[in-house]
Amino acid sequence: MLMSSTVKQTQQLSPNHGLFSLRGALLTLAILTLLSFTFLSLKYSTPSPQISVAKLVDPEVKEHNDEEEGGEELSDIYHSPRVFKLNYAEMMEKFKVYIYPDGDPKTFYQTPRKLTGKYASEGYFFQNIRESRFRTLDPDQAHLFFIPISCHKMRGKGTSYDNMTIIVQNYVEGLIAKYPYWNRTLGADHFFVTCHDVGVRATEGLPFLIKNTIRAVCSPSYDVGFIPHKDVALPQVLQPFALPAGGNDIENSDANYLIFPGMNRILNLEIGHNRQTTCLHEYLIIYSLSTFGKYGLCRTNLGFWAGHRNSKIRVILARVWENDTELDISNNRISRATGHLVYQKRFYKTKFCICPGGSQVNSARIADSIHYGCIPVILSNYYDLPFNDIVDWRKFAVVLKESDVYQLKQILKNISHAEFVSLHNNLVKIQKHFQWNTPPISYDAFHMVMYDLWLRHYTIKY
């Protein structure tokens, strides 16, 4: 009876025992596979970059550290990294700018109406220059003189372009009569800053201002008299950005990532109450919630553009490609009714973001693309790109002529994955140059504009 009972218990336990053995074997196999993949990933991966801690340190400390490092690790994106390092350090030590204090305080010497929208770059510069180390109250120490004309401020008051031109002319002529500094160089050591078409149109009727002074403008096309060796291309940046910057989301470049090569699929992760989906062309990535994964790292779209047909190139772009299955082209801006931040999230999902000029040659999409980690595709015949004399745009962007729009898809498809990875990695490196901060941080957009001005002051002879 006892033996019979024991046999029955053994028969009952056998299936469970077999199940446990199977589970144990599978678990062991899974662990070995995970360790193998991890070993291979670490063996063949690229070194992890240092994590930026800009927000955790004092701006002055970061500024000093950046000057010491000088961007040697970024040598592939600068035309001459050593020259840039030396000149930048000299600029930080010596450059001085005098701001004219005269003028109607309701019109001049004011931060533009707001630090958002298409005039944000102008507003940030006005605010940054007043708070920066470059400002001097002694005009005899100044290398350059800043004419604080805020045409955006005038436009906000409903002033017409003709009246703006008269106001600017009267103001500058008043400075010439009151101070001796303009007449030393006929204004060659003077500069003003304006973004978008308002400031350009307000000053284009003043030849002595256009031809003599340094213009930092967001519309640097030759049809408005932009002179590359004299003028400065101001990056047009729509801040604040709605979503965080896109990072190195296509390669094994973060120590928090475990990458398993050769697996082209989608993984759904459920961690606590947070659920997210991520996908890449050739990789399966497991990542922590602290990284960019929460917004999706699925750069599966080839190209993207959405906007109004307010220029010839945009009309052609929409007509040729709006029905294409691989290029996401819309001839109207994406309505908010379709969902929250749909437009911005498209940048995260796309490899190449098309940036055709609108009513002006400049486009804020360029800075948007850079911020969200989408390779900008410049479609313009005449556009002196921001910081073009400092950085090599072809290392992180695709620069095309407008006539290339008809072969656009094939041009993008001909870019190999390795070339795309290189462009994307370089793009992440220069993101800081297209970011405005208050107070300013070394190597941000403000300091890069100041560096361009510093370079131009060398050509001025008294």
CB atoms within 10 A of CB 384: 20
145 to each of 103, 167, 214, how far by Cα in Å? 15, 19, 10
* Angle of the 342-349 helix axis to the 365-372 helix axis, nearest 10: 60
Phi (first) and psi of residue 221, to 5 degrees: -110, 150
Mean pLDDT, contiguous 10-residue spans, the chain (462 residues): 44 46 60 54 38 33 43 70 93 96 66 69 89 94 91 73 85 91 93 77 81 84 72 87 76 34 34 35 35 52 86 89 89 62 84 84 84 92 88 95 94 94 93 92 96 87 56
Across 319-445, the runs of DSSP E, i.e. the strands, are: 327-330, 350-356, 375-379, 398-400
Is the dihedral angle over the CA atoms 244, 250, 256, 262 positive or is it negative? positive
Q: Distance (Å, rounded) from C-alpha 50 to C-alpha 451?
A: 25
Q: Distance (Å, rounded) from C-alpha 369 to C-alpha 374?
A: 5
In Å, how far from its chain's centre is CA 214? 24
Helix or strand or coil: residue 364? coil
pLDDT of residue 365: 87
Strands 190-194 and 144-146: parallel
Longest dimension (CA), the chain: 121
* CATH domain 301-435 topology: Rossmann fold (3.40.50)
pLDDT of residue 113: 58
In a 10 Å sphere around its CB, with 0-12 CB exposed, 13-18 middle and 19+ buried, how is residue 41 labelled?
Answer: middle
Q: Are 253 and 46 in contact (CB under 8 A)?
A: yes
Across 253-388, the runs of DSSP E, i.e. the strands, are: 258-261, 266-271, 274-279, 283-286, 301-306, 327-330, 350-356, 375-379
Domain spans in the chain, listed from the N-terminal domain onward: 81-239+446-459, 301-435
Residue 246 pairs with which residues in a beta bridge?
none
Stated pTM of the model: 0.74
pLDDT of residue 387: 93
pLDDT of residue 262: 34
Looking at residue 61, its amino acid is V
pLDDT of residue 281: 35
pLDDT of residue 396: 95
Omega of the bond leading into 439 within 30 degrees of 0 (cis): yes
Q: What is the DSSP letter of 280?
A: -
Q: Distance (Å, rounded) from C-alpha 197 to C-alpha 223?
A: 12
| Residues with Cβ within 8 Å of residue 43, at least 6 apart in sequence | none
* DSSP letter string, 85-132: HHHHHHHHHH--EEEP--S-TTTBSS--S-SSGGGHHHHHHHHHHHHS
- Element of type H or E holding 145: strand 144-146
pLDDT of residue 23: 59
Among 301, 306, 369, CA closest to 336: 306
Omega of the bond leading into 240 within 30 degrees of 0 (cis): yes
